[in-house]
Amino acid sequence: MTISEKNELLDKLSTHYNRVNYLKLLAKEKNASPDVIGQIEQRKTKLKAKIDMLLEDLYANWIGNAAQLKKSVDSGNQGLNGCIADIEKDINIAKRIVEALGYVDDVIKLAEGLLK
């Protein structure tokens, strides 16, 4: 993976992190339980730690195909954005938060895979 591809992937991961921040704020606004807010915060913290590790390791040989990794993160971002859109419209808030956490978990696993 080239430096340019690594930077692009890090940008996509950062976008995902920013959307998780928004998800947390939105969940608070929609009066989600403290347990749910805590779950979002845990995922946010874990994702941030992985992104920070990848930034430190930017010039190492990451495992994986850049195009497939970007596609996977894009898919996670789209899924997360869909969940957020429904939460904003008060549609199945609890269900969509759980689904959103699944997208965050998928992106965390992807980031972990890059660090192996």
CB 18 within 8 A of CB 62: no
pTM: 0.86
Tokens of 94: 């609890």
CATH architecture entry for 3-114:
Up-down Bundle (1.20)
pLDDT tens for 35-87 read 999 999 999 999 999 999 988 887 677 777 888 889 999 999 999 999 999 99
Going from N- to C-terminal start, the domains of the chain cover 3-114
Alpha-carbon distance of 29 to 46, in angstroms, equals: 23
pLDDT tens for 81-104 read 999 999 999 999 999 999 999 999
Alpha-carbon distance of 100 to 105, in angstroms, equals: 9
Torsion of CA 90, 91, 94, 99, to 10 degrees: -130
